[in-house]
Chain A
Amino acid sequence: MNSTDFILAASESANPLLPNPWEILVTGVGFAVLLFIVIKVIAPKFEQSYEDRVTAIEGGLEKAEAAQKEAEETLAQYKAQLLEARTEANRIREEARSEGAQILEDLKTKATDEATRISEQAQRQIQAERTAALSSLRTDVGTLATELASKIVDEALKDDARAQRVVDQFLNDLEAQQNAGASN
């Protein structure tokens, strides 16, 4: 019997709407068994797995959120510290600058004072030397005048012309002496 004949025979011999009682029994009992297994074993396991995953994911998310929060806090802390350090550095720099300016000012004042002091000392020395020179000159002039006077008196007795020469001589000497003193 080839397959074509088989199909024809099958379609003629049976009404597909009429059930085989065996099929109803086997399908009904089989489905009941399957349903029992699904209720007792399969569905609870899948639900459990689903729950576990939800819990794990939610836990993970919470953990991640906490870590994120902590990181943000640390960052803020670091930023604050950095800002503080910068302010501190600025303050120190500012202090150093003003301190430097102060030191410079002090040094300048000191130098000026020193210069003033040195120049005053020099003035005083010059004054003292001058006074000494004047007094010595006065002594010399006195001596010379006395000498001159004695000479004049001495010569006057002899010759007017001669006296005149002596006076000239004296004055020349004096001049020469003065020049030599000035050049010294």
Chain B
Amino acid sequence: MAEYGTGFGKQMLMIVLSIVLITWFFTAAIKNPKLVPGKMQYLAESGYAFVRNGIGRDIIGEKNFRPWIPLLFATFFFVLLNNLFGAIPFLQLPSFSHAGSAYAMAIIIYGTWIAVGLKNHGIRYFKLAVVPSGVPGWIMPLMIPLEIISNFIVRPLTHSLRLMATMLAGHMIVMLAAAGARHLIVVQDSLAMNGLGVLVIAGSVAMYFLELLIMVLQAFVFALLTAIYVQGAIEADAH
């Protein structure tokens, strides 16, 4: 295994694995679509409909959401599966706890919504994005720099770091609890310390389920923000 932060390693294999798994599951589930779906088709269609209607249609709107379904679908399930890898024994590593992957996703989304804004509004898009309407003129010197920083600098950073930080923190908490419990039970001689180690294991199980919740939630948040950014770029002149 490569040293942390360098070279090609386990995390990248997991990225590839997630792509293979998502492709396999969704193509197999919809290979022979039935009118009355089986279990697998139902599960896949529920997932697809959740992204399509729950994120795409609700955020981007009935009129424009159709071309964005694939991007949102791929984003949500790519992030979701890679997060859940952190909860699977032996894999035990959420891919997005490594900053590089989170940055890559954020850059792709960032480029996408800027391109959408330019395509829909031309170069005027940058004015629409940073000059708020309905604000008195004297406050503009303050508002415009703030909007530039908020929309074009902070937004991709928060988009990626939110995901990376929650995954890294969750991963570290579980690892720390496991290592701490091992230390308390195996290394310490006192019976009280050993008992405490058992309590830590019980606590880490609770943490594991909390982590599971956060993994799903963060995948949802990431896809939801993607939809919000795209929607904002499409309808930049509406606010």
Contacts and interface: CB of A to CB of B under 8 A. Distances in A.
A34 interface: yes
Given A19-B99, A42-B30, A43-B73, A28 B4 contact: no
A54 B52 CA distance: 16
Interface string B22-38: 11001100100101000
A28 B183 contact: no
Given A31-B74, A31-B108, A20 B5 contact: yes
A49 to B, nearest CB: 4
B7 A22 contact: yes
A27 B101 contact: yes
Contact of A24 (B19, B97, B101): B101
B78 interface: yes
Looking at chain B's contact residues, is the secondary structure mostly helix, strand, loop, or mixed?
Answer: helix
Interface string A2-38: 1110010010011111111111111110111111011
A37 B23 contact: yes
Contact of A30 (B15, B26, B97): B15
Interface in B1-53: 3-9, 11-12, 15-16, 18-19, 22-23, 26-27, 30, 33, 35, 41, 44-45, 48-49, 52
B35 A52 contact: yes
A34 B19 contact: yes
B98 A7 contact: no
A7 B179 contact: yes
A94 to B, nearest CB: 59
B210 interface: no
B54 interface: no
A61 interface: no
Given A45-B33, A46-B30, A49-B30, A34 B99 contact: no
A35 B107 CA distance: 15
A14 B235 CA distance: 42
A10 B73 contact: no
- Interface range for B: 35 or more
Contacts of B3: 13-14
B12 A10 contact: no
A19 B7 CA distance: 11
B69 interface: yes
Interface in B201-220: none
Given A7-B175, A42-B26, A42-B30, A30 B19 contact: yes
Contacts of B103: 19, 24
A62 B87 CA distance: 48
A43 B101 contact: no
Contact of A38 (B74, B98, B164, B176): B74
Nearest to B99: A19
A50 B57 CA distance: 15
B105 interface: yes
A23 B104 contact: yes
Given A23-B100, A38-B26, A48-B33, 12 more contacts: A3-B179, A3-B182, A14-B3, A19-B99, A22-B6, A22-B7, A22-B9, A23-B104, A42-B70, A42-B73, A49-B30, A53-B35
6 contacts: A4-B180, A27-B105, A35-B71, A38-B26, A39-B70, A45-B27
Q: Which 6 A-B pairs have the closest CB atoms?
A: A23-B100, A19-B100, A27-B104, A49-B33, A27-B101, A26-B12
